[in-house]
């Protein structure tokens, strides 16, 4: 094993340089104009997988390609680990808020700044390098490995479920390992016990046949902007709870040891508030910030469009309004049930005089596990060895929709161990990844594969 870790140490400079090449590819899955870049990223990744000793293949889907890298030389008695990650990234806008260009990786203060550095190209690439360290230093891996990299995580993974269903046998594995989340804090690694799910909608409100003069018509027709505001305002009560009937019915209660564990984590709400530059934290009354993030569901407006928003004043009565509204779900809520409840609520509160339509965009189920057993022990030891401190257990407020499908369809248990840091600007300007976490994380992954064998 020391050869493998020595290989990592000796090659860290090259690993980083390669990652920066990966980060230069503008693999933005949601934008049509980047379709070519998506393919280039898939091909680049497949080539690096081959260099790492994996047999790589690219699989077309109705959307962006899936890249598979396989090594099955450990034999049938050894476990098979499926490593999942994504090579697509979020759009970088607003561009003028980046201190250095989003697709020109730049090192500052022990971090690399670039879109995708943390989410998820940097973390996916750590696995490729951990695999390479084993194959180059030892000529083999301690476990059978399948690396599955998708290009549609940021747009809901719609084509991945059919891909997994079609290739259940090829993807058969004992464990799924995913690095697409955070450590608890700088120098403090963690293993996840949960992810929230997602249910995402658009509310379209339509009024008169066209925009109208707000003086000539105001007071006689219902303004879609006012109507949408009323609908949005009806979604929460004064205690910050979601005011949709039945919304909390399926919210599971959590085991005491998990709740005690959350309370024991070194987390200062005041420091968190300051780091976000807000005058006061918000959310559901009666819960701590970490509980509100990890074990409670939420409802948030993601965007609103209506009327005149240009320079100066325009007296207009707009004829349409639209809001994007999403829910983060916790076990045992489902996107389907929340859709029913949300639609019934909007029907009930929508003012007369306008037509209201709801469009459902993507969703994903929440995930939860009892973090114990061989997989978590192996990860705990590996992280402790590489970072010099015992990892903590934590939940996560974000979503990775495919995790539940992996567990169900492949009948395997998932381990979520991420290396990004809180505050690393995922989906925002100036996304960064800590270089020390990249280096130590690769070693932790090398040790993890070893411990699983």
Catalytic residues: 88, 153
Retrieve residue 427's tokens. 């989906």
What length does the chain have? 453
- Smallest gap from Cβ 78 to ligand BES, in A, equals 29
Instruction: Using the rule CB under 5 A, give the single segment among 111-119, 311-319, 344-352, 362-370 that binds Zn ion.
Output: 111-119
Nearer to ligand BES, 29 or 451 (CB): 29
- Smallest gap from Cβ 450 to Zn ion, in A, equals 29
| Interface with Zn ion (CB under 5 A), residue from 37, 70, 88, 119 | 119
Query: What x/- string results for residues 143 through 182 when contact with ligand BES is judged by CB under 6 A?
Result: ----------xx-x-----------------------xxx
Instruction: Say whether 298 sits in a helix, a strand or coil.
Output: strand
Radius of gyration, CA atoms only, the chain: 23
119 lies in the site for ligand BES, by CB under 6 A: yes
Q: Which residues lie below 8 Å from residue 225, measured CB to CB, with a gap of 6+?
A: 306, 307, 318, 321
- Give the Cα separation of 413 and 403 in Å (integer): 9
Q: Which residues lie below 8 Å from residue 308, measured CB to CB, with a gap of 6+?
A: 314, 316, 318
- Smallest gap from Cβ 429 to ligand BES, in A, equals 15
Largest CA distance in the chain: 80
Q: Which residues lie below 8 Å from residue 435, measured CB to CB, with a gap of 6+?
A: 16, 107, 110, 111, 112
Nearer to ligand BES, 23 or 354 (CB): 23
401 lies in the site for ligand BES, by CB under 6 A: yes
Question: What helix, strand, coil percent values describe the chain, rounded to 5?
Answer: 35, 25, 40
- Give the Cα separation of 171 and 163 in Å (integer): 10
Nearer to ligand BES, 121 or 134 (CB): 121
Nearer to ligand BES, 207 or 395 (CB): 395
364 lies in the site for ligand BES, by CB under 6 A: yes
- Smallest gap from Cβ 193 to ligand BES, in A, equals 13
Retrieve residue 340's tokens. 């029913």
Instruction: Using the rule CB under 5 A, give the single segment among 115-123, 193-201, 351-359, 363-371 that binds Zn ion.
Output: 115-123
Binding site for ligand BES (CB under 6 A): 119-120, 153-154, 156, 180-182, 198, 362, 364, 396, 398-401, 426
């Amino acid at each position: 094993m020391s050869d493998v870790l020595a290989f990592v140490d000796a090659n860290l400079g090259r690993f980083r340089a390669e990652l920066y090449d990966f980060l230069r590819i503008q693999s933005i899955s949601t934008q049509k104009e980047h379709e070519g870049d998506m393919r280039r990223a898939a091909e680049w990744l497949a080539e690096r997988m081959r260099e790492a000793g994996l047999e790589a293949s690219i699989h077309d889907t109705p959307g962006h390609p899936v890249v598979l890298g396989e090594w099955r030389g450990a034999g049938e008695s050894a476990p098979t680990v499926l490593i999942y990650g994504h090579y697509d990234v979020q759009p970088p806008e607003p561009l003028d808020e980046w201190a250095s260009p989003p697709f020109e990786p730049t090192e500052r203060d022990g971090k690399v700044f670039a879109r995708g550095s943390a989410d998820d190209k940097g973390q996916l690439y750590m696995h490729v390098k951990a695999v390479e360290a084993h194959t180059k230093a030892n000529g083999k891996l301690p476990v059978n490995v399948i690396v599955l990299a998708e290009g549609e995580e940021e747009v809901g993974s719609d084509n991945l479920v059919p891909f997994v269903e079609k290739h259940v046998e090829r993807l058969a594995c004992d464990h799924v390992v995913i690095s697409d989340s955070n450590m608890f804090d700088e120098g403090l690694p963690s293993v996840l016990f949960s992810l929230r799910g997602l249910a995402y909608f658009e509310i379209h409100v339509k009024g008169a046949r066209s925009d109208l003069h707000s003086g000539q018509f105001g007071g006689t027709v219902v303004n879609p902007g006012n109507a949408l505001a009323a609908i949005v305002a009806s979604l929460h009560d004064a205690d910050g709870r979601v005011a949709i009937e039945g919304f909390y019915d399926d919210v599971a209660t959590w085991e005491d040891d998990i709740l005690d564990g959350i309370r024991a984590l070194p987390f200062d709400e005041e420091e968190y508030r300051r780091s976000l530059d807000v005058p006061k934290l918000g959310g559901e009354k009666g819960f701590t910030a970490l509980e509100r993030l990890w074990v409670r569901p939420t409802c948030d407006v993601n965007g609103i469009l209506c009327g005149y928003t240009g320079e100066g004043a325009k007296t207009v009565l707009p004829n349409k309004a639209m809001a994007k509204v999403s829910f983060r779900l916790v076990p045992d809520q489902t996107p389907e049930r929340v859709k029913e409840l949300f639609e019934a609520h909007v029907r009930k509160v929508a003012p007369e005089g306008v037509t209201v339509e709801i469009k459902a965009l993507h969703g994903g189920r929440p995930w939860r596990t009892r973090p114990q057993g061989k997989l978590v022990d192996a990860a705990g030891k590996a992280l402790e060895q590489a970072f010099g401190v015992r990892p903590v257990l934590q939940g996560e407020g974000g979503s990775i929709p495919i995790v539940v499908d992996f567990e169900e369809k492949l009948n395997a248990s998932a381990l979520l161990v991420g290396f990004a840091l809180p505050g690393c600007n995922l989906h925002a300007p100036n996304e960064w990844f800590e270089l020390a976490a990249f280096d130590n994380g690769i070693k932790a992954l090398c040790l993890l594969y070893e411990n699983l064998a």
